[in-house]
Amino acid sequence: MDKLEEISHARKRAHAKLRALKSKVYEAFLDMEEAACSDGALPRKTKELIAVGISVTIDCQSRG
C-alpha cells in the first residue's frame, strides 16, 4: 500500500470512529465543511483546487 492509500484508509477509519461516537461537535464540523465546500460564489471544484494549492504550498500532510 502506498502512502496516499495509507492516509486515505486512516482518514476513513478516523471518520467512522468519530461518526460512531455521535459527537455533536463533529457533526457540526461536517455541516460547516459541507456548507463551505458547496457551490456558491465559487463552484465546488474551484474551492477544491484552491484547497489543494494551499496544501501543496504549506507542505500539508494528513496525519490520519
**pLDDT value at residue 4:** 82
| pTM of the model as a whole | 0.64
Q: Which long-range contacts (CB under 8 A, 24 or more apart) does 41-44 make?
A: none
Could you tell me what percentage of the chain is helix, strand and coil, using 3-state DSSP and rounding each to the nearest 5?
Answer: 70, 0, 30
Q: Report CA 9 to chain centroid distance, whole Å.
A: 13
Low-confidence ranges of the chain (pLDDT < 70): 62-64
| Contact call for residues 7 and 61 (beta carbons, < 8 A) | yes
Q: With CA atoms as reference, report the closest residue to 15 among 5, 51, 23.
A: 23
